[in-house]
Chain A
Amino acid sequence: MAKFRTKPINSITHLFIYALTFLLLWEWLRPIPVVTNTAEIHLFVWFAFFSTVLIYIRVPFWLTIPTLMMASIYGLHIIFYEGSFFSREGGWETVKLFSSEAWYNFGLIFSRDFAYLTDPFRTFLFFLLLALICYLLYYWIFQTRRIFFFLLSTIIYITVLDTFTPVDASTAIIRIVIIGFFMLTLLHMLKIQEEERALGKRGSSFISPAWMYTLILMILAATFVGVIAPKPDPQWSDPVPAMRTLVLGEGSGTGSGVRRVGYGENDERLGGGFVQDNNVVFSAEVEEASYWRGESKHEYTGKGWISDPSYVESESVFEDEVDYYMFEELAVLEERTVSIVMEEGVGFSHLFYPGQLKQLDRDSLTYLSGSEEGNNESIQFNTDTVNGRVQAEGEEDITLTSYDLVYDDPTFPIETLREGSEEDPTEIQELYLQLPDDLPDRVVELAEEIVEDEDNRYDKAVAVEQYFSRNGFEYQTTDVPVPDEDEDYVDQFLFETQVGYCDNYSTSMAVLLRALDIPTRWVKGFTAGEEIEETENDRTIYEVANGNAHSWVEVYFPEVGWVPFEPTQGFDNYADFEEEEIDIDVDSEQNNLEDPERPDTGMDEDLLGDLDEGMESETDTEVSGGSDENWIDFSQFLTLKSLLISLVTLVMVMVIYEKQNRLQNHYFIWHYRFMGNDQRYLTAYQRLLWILENEGLPRGEGETLREYAKRMDLALNSQAMSKLTKTYEKVYYGGYKPDGDWEERQKDWEEIVKSLNS
């Protein structure tokens, strides 16, 4: 309440808080050597300390500024120049050098060539910044009594550094939280005391030892619990790789020991890091984002993937027929088209297609035969019936440059996947359950452990798919080892390194599922790419770069076909899985069996009531589907609708909480406006006392109404309370019947309540 702010009073507590903010400032400086190549960070810490002290002891400005100036020049001397500062030559030399440097840099600033500022000058600016921050901190503590903003920015700063840079802030965050708690509570206590003093209730500012001990104990206990409490793994996959993909255009690829990311041919030996390459491979105009499939591989060697292609000539590729089938009758298919334009200089002779390829449009097909532009007659397409690679053959080497495709975009009904048969045809079993003989047993054991609570193929596949993001695996493109001769690629990733990129994740998932006798294959291609623009007819143009090279897994479901899964952290599966819409009647009956009230989603707090109702349909299906997978289906809570509803609810709750007094007061004004009369004069006045107390302006125990009224009028800058009180005294102590008093005093009554609201 700004009305009660008085002149700032300094105390030992303030000094203590100031010291704490200095520690926070230190936390800002600590990570700098890690993220930059600043070596002498202690100099800056000392400088910050020095300016903190100077500002605290209130050295006059004409002294502070030159002193800090000298201190920063001394700091510059230590960092950049040689010799003793205190020898005549050293110090003077530095000053001279620095002044010419400063002159030069000022010129740069005025010509806006900020990039050319010299290092010493930049360092000087940093010193300046530190001094300013120290002053700002002083101002925050001693003048405005607000430090939360600084604390919040410190936390954001540290967490961002921790997330995106090598800085490890796991202890820093604990320190910050402890310091922050102390600061906030102490400042708050001081603020309360000041308000009390302004109201004349307290003589001096003093925090009792009992409070201090309680505070310390509480903070330590809270921190201790916070540190030792078991923490659940992130419920969402680590967003950082995805963000990096988005922001930096990074990705992953089937870099089999190669140093540059991209779509390669040889996957016999996987592993090793790679560097980014953002050269565009092709752009595609398509209705819906989807992964671009190049081919799959079916034999895992322990080091990588190989395949045994079986090509047939696809004569009918232009007539709605490709000799490669991914989906069976139970998958819901929708026919879509796509136009792909390869980038110049990219030499692929096979097609990339989303979903299941159906037809290639002959008219739009362009390609280079050798270095000549080819015509349609001299080209023939061969399809690998096992792996789905559709390869163009011609007299010379073919390089495809653009083509339009018709494909089937599948949707997989989850219930069908769960309840479908698990009897695989023998030819599938032969090809896709292969595992190397020397696969370590612990891989099989791990696979069984992961799915021990699951009873159907779909849930098992999802369990394995999610296993990595729930168990501390890290997405990383550098520093990924290639397995030695006696090591297994999957075993190494699962049990030793636990860091890697798509190949590691997809291969591991494929192998783990095969260990459970679920047929899988390893697919390579590109991720959807970067969205470039939307065209008029609701189609979107995506640009796919080398960095989008990717690999994933397809799992076989009898009668449905090959369903793609995405185990790699930070990538989204573009395949559509459909929760069957269950009819309400059936649904409620089914629900009643399990829970008459409401599904046990762990969110049934009253606060979330609205939210919950809004999402009834989703949660219901979830329960009927199987309750072990709440965490998987959690993503379904994140629909735009529910997000909006929860956001609105949250904001409303916050507003109501924040404004509850205001609302209440408005209610009383309204109430007494209509219901007020002389008989109610007493209750109206008593209500006013209640409201004032509610607003943090209680009457002291031994304070008479008159004294209280005087104090309130002083605080609220009015006369109303004294007038009201006089009438109240007459009625309450004097035993007079009110006669027209309410009418006379109603304005005063409202004036007080309104001034409290303003």
Chain B
Amino acid sequence: MRNRPEPSVVKHPHVHRLIENVEKVVVGKSREIELSLIALLSGGHVLLEDVPGVGKTMMVRAMAKSIGAEFKRIQFTPDLLPSDVTGVSVFSQKTMEFQFRPGPVMTNIVLADEINRTSPKTQAALLEALEEGSVTTDGETRVLPDPFLVMATQNPIEYGGTYPLPEAQLDRFLFKFKIGYPSKSEELEVLNRVESRHPIEELQSVLSLEDILEMKKEVKETFVNENVKQYIINIVNATRQHHAVFLGASPRASIALMKAGQAYAYMQGRDYVLPDDIKYLAPFALQHRMILNSDAKLSNATNERVVYDVVEQVHIPTGKETAR
């Protein structure tokens, strides 16, 4: 495995404060916090593929609390119905009308736990919310609040009793990454922190929802140079042509990569995107959007490795071509 790029030093003051705050609760996961924040700022969603108990909920809760956002958690089970997610209209005897009871998805930050354990129908209900930013029940479309971030987790697919998410659905997530186990020293730090009481209880918000909305607006204004766009396209194209890949990344992947790049550049206090940003984010943004062919699977290639492979080979426009 090639040495992974380290997350850059965060420079934007808001972002810095936010991450510091979340880190009071979550130990040693600054990169994952940063990625989640990118998703929040660029309006994307995150898929975590993780075993239980590594602090996913804590991280999301801490984030929600830090920005003063509403947080809900949906535990997906095989018998969960779409309406349990989106909400349901019940007949009110008092008003003699149907009244909408919003489901848990109608909130700012949703933790969708073990999303692959529920039926495809329910999955689809959630995923519509992801993509459209709205839910439709009883023929009525209801806009979801802004900001809106879904952190879905899924058990590693090898586990029994799961309904793997179809590729089309996976495409709707901006990032897929793992939180993973903490190191020994980090775990010790976790124990120390929760010894008397849980730090999440005392966590104060450091930003308001308005701040987040303001930031989201600014992110959209981050400049993306033609060459960088070209670079994004080159990378996505390269995944389609890679010999180990059966189905490459879609144009939606290009969009996602660019938006993520904007957010990431913004978070570093830059108002333009660098190829470095794209290169760093590409593995997280692309690995779940492609299917390897059976040869590659047999030879133990992973999606992640293929993306690393691709970004190492794709030419980066530097302007030097004109000097020749």
- Min CB distance B11 to A, Å, is 13
From B251-259, B298-306, B312-320, the one touching the partner chain is: B312-320
Choose from B272, B279, B311, B313 the contact partner of A733 (Cβ within 8 Å). B272
**Which one of A687, A705, A730 has the greatest number of beta carbons of chain B within 10 Å?**
A705
Q: Is the CB of B322 within 8 A of A729?
A: no
- Min CB distance A698 to B, Å, is 10
Q: Is the CB of B274 within 8 A of A702?
A: no
Q: With a CB–CB cut-off of 8 A, which chain A residues contact B318?
A: 686, 689, 699, 705, 732
- Min CB distance A266 to B, Å, is 83
* Given A689-B323, A733-B228, A734-B271; A707-B314 close (CB under 8 Å): no
Q: Is the CB of A686 within 8 A of B273?
A: no
Segment 688-740 of A: residues with Cβ below 8 Å from B = 689-690, 699-707, 729-730, 732-735
Q: Is B43 in contact with chain A by the CB < 8 A criterion?
A: no
Choose from B225, B228, B323 the contact partner of A687 (Cβ within 8 Å). B323
- Tell me the bound Cα distance from A732 to B276 in angstroms: 13
- Min CB distance B286 to A, Å, is 14
- Tell me the bound Cα distance from A682 to B318 in angstroms: 10
* Given A704-B275, A732-B225, A734-B271; A690-B323 close (CB under 8 Å): yes
Q: Is the CB of A701 within 8 A of B313?
A: yes
- Min CB distance B29 to A, Å, is 24
Q: With a CB–CB cut-off of 8 A, which chain A residues contact B313?
A: 701-702
* Given A705-B275, A735-B225; A686-B270 close (CB under 8 Å): no
Q: With a CB–CB cut-off of 8 A, which chain A residues contact B324?
A: 690
Q: With a CB–CB cut-off of 8 A, which chain B residues contact A687?
A: 323
Interface 0/1 of B240-273, CB less than 8 Å to A = 0000000000000000000000000000001111
Q: Classify the interface of chain A: helix, strand, loop or mixed.
A: helix
- Tell me the bound Cα distance from A690 to B275 in angstroms: 20
- Min CB distance B165 to A, Å, is 30
Q: Is the CB of A704 within 8 A of B316?
A: yes
Q: Is B163 in contact with chain A by the CB < 8 A criterion?
A: no
- Tell me the bound Cα distance from A733 to B222 in angstroms: 11
Segment 655-693 of A: residues with Cβ below 8 Å from B = 682-683, 686-687, 689-690
Q: With a CB–CB cut-off of 8 A, which chain A residues contact B228?
A: 733
Q: With a CB–CB cut-off of 8 A, which chain B residues contact A683?
A: 322-323
Q: With a CB–CB cut-off of 8 A, which chain B residues contact A703?
A: 316
- Min CB distance B56 to A, Å, is 31
Q: Is the CB of A734 within 8 A of B223?
A: yes
* Given A687-B323, A690-B323, A690-B324; A735-B223 close (CB under 8 Å): yes
Q: With a CB–CB cut-off of 8 A, which chain A residues contact B320?
A: 686, 689-690, 699
- Min CB distance A712 to B, Å, is 13
- Tell me the bound Cα distance from A199 to B3 in angstroms: 14
- Tell me the bound Cα distance from A730 to B315 in angstroms: 20
Q: With a CB–CB cut-off of 8 A, which chain A residues contact B273?
A: 733
Q: Is the CB of A686 within 8 A of B323?
A: yes
Choose from B272, B276, B323 the contact partner of A707 (Cβ within 8 Å). B276
Q: Is the CB of B314 within 8 A of A686?
A: no
How many residues of chain A are within 8 Å of chain B by beta carbon? 21
Q: Is B227 in contact with chain A by the CB < 8 A criterion?
A: yes
Segment 140-173 of B: residues with Cβ below 8 Å from A = none
Q: Is the CB of B274 within 8 A of A733?
A: yes
- Tell me the bound Cα distance from A357 to B142 in angstroms: 132
- Min CB distance A725 to B, Å, is 10
Q: With a CB–CB cut-off of 8 A, which chain A residues contact B274?
A: 704, 706, 729, 733
Interface 0/1 of A52-89, CB less than 8 Å to B = 00000000000000000000000000000000000000
- Tell me the bound Cα distance from A707 to B270 in angstroms: 18
Q: Which of chain B's residues has its CB closest to A703's CB? A: B316
- Min CB distance B112 to A, Å, is 35
* Given A689-B318, A702-B312; A735-B272 close (CB under 8 Å): yes
Q: With a CB–CB cut-off of 8 A, which chain B residues contact A699?
A: 318, 320
* Given A701-B313, A734-B225; A686-B322 close (CB under 8 Å): yes
**Which one of B271, B273, B274, B279 has the greatest number of beta carbons of chain A within 10 Å?**
B274
Choose from B225, B272, B311, B319 the contact partner of A702 (Cβ within 8 Å). B311
Q: Is the CB of A705 within 8 A of B223?
A: no
- Tell me the bound Cα distance from A703 to B231 in angstroms: 12
Q: Is the CB of A682 within 8 A of B311?
A: no
- Min CB distance B12 to A, Å, is 16
- Tell me the bound Cα distance from A702 to B313 in angstroms: 5
- Min CB distance B18 to A, Å, is 25
Q: With a CB–CB cut-off of 8 A, which chain A residues contact B311?
A: 702
Q: Is the CB of A704 within 8 A of B279?
A: yes
Q: Is the CB of B316 within 8 A of A705?
A: yes
- Min CB distance A748 to B, Å, is 18
- Tell me the bound Cα distance from A732 to B227 in angstroms: 9
- Min CB distance A711 to B, Å, is 12
- Min CB distance B246 to A, Å, is 23
Q: Which of chain A's residues has its CB closest to B238's CB? A: A702
- Tell me the bound Cα distance from A689 to B312 in angstroms: 19
- Min CB distance A727 to B, Å, is 13
- Tell me the bound Cα distance from A704 to B317 in angstroms: 9
- Min CB distance A19 to B, Å, is 35
- Tell me the bound Cα distance from A185 to B202 in angstroms: 69
Interface 0/1 of B216-233, CB less than 8 Å to A = 000000010101100000
Q: With a CB–CB cut-off of 8 A, which chain B residues contact A706?
A: 274, 276
* Given A687-B323, A734-B225; A701-B315 close (CB under 8 Å): yes
Q: With a CB–CB cut-off of 8 A, which chain B residues contact A707?
A: 276
Choose from A700, A730, A732 the contact partner of B319 (Cβ within 8 Å). A732
- Tell me the bound Cα distance from A707 to B311 in angstroms: 13
Q: Is the CB of B316 within 8 A of A686?
A: no
Q: Is the CB of A734 within 8 A of B272?
A: yes
- Min CB distance A693 to B, Å, is 8
- Min CB distance B270 to A, Å, is 7
Interface 0/1 of B20-40, CB less than 8 Å to A = 000000000000000000000
Q: Which of chain B's residues has its CB closest to A729's CB? A: B274
- Tell me the bound Cα distance from A265 to B311 in angstroms: 95
- Min CB distance B80 to A, Å, is 43
Q: Is the CB of B272 within 8 A of A704?
A: no
Q: Is the CB of A734 within 8 A of B315?
A: no
Q: Is the CB of A682 within 8 A of B276?
A: no
- Tell me the bound Cα distance from A86 to B191 in angstroms: 73
Q: Which of chain A's residues has its CB closest to B316's CB? A: A704
Q: With a CB–CB cut-off of 8 A, which chain A residues contact B315?
A: 701-702
- Tell me the bound Cα distance from A732 to B313 in angstroms: 22
Q: Which of chain A's residues has its CB closest to B224's CB? A: A733
- Min CB distance A667 to B, Å, is 15
- Tell me the bound Cα distance from A268 to B254 in angstroms: 105
- Tell me the bound Cα distance from A705 to B274 in angstroms: 9
- Tell me the bound Cα distance from A705 to B271 in angstroms: 18
- Min CB distance A683 to B, Å, is 6
* Given A690-B323, A690-B324; A733-B314 close (CB under 8 Å): no
- Min CB distance A729 to B, Å, is 6
- Min CB distance B242 to A, Å, is 13
**Which one of A702, A732, A734 has the greatest number of beta carbons of chain B within 10 Å?**
A702
- Tell me the bound Cα distance from A703 to B314 in angstroms: 9
**Which one of A701, A704, A706, A729 has the greatest number of beta carbons of chain B within 10 Å?**
A704
- Min CB distance B210 to A, Å, is 28
- Tell me the bound Cα distance from A686 to B317 in angstroms: 12
- Tell me the bound Cα distance from A699 to B223 in angstroms: 25
- Tell me the bound Cα distance from A542 to B275 in angstroms: 83
**Which one of A682, A703, A732 has the greatest number of beta carbons of chain B within 10 Å?**
A732
A-B contact pairs, 21 of them (CB 8 A): A683-B322, A687-B323, A689-B320, A689-B323, A701-B315, A701-B316, A702-B313, A703-B316, A704-B274, A704-B279, A705-B316, A706-B276, A732-B227, A732-B318, A733-B225, A733-B227, A733-B228, A733-B275, A734-B223, A734-B225, A734-B271
- Nearest 3 Cβ contacts at the A-B interface: A686-B323, A734-B272, A702-B312
Q: Which residues of A contact B (CB under 8 A)?
A: 682-683, 686-687, 689-690, 699-707, 729-730, 732-735
Name 5 extra pairs, CB < 8 A, besides A702-B311, A705-B275: A683-B322, A686-B318, A701-B313, A702-B314, A734-B223
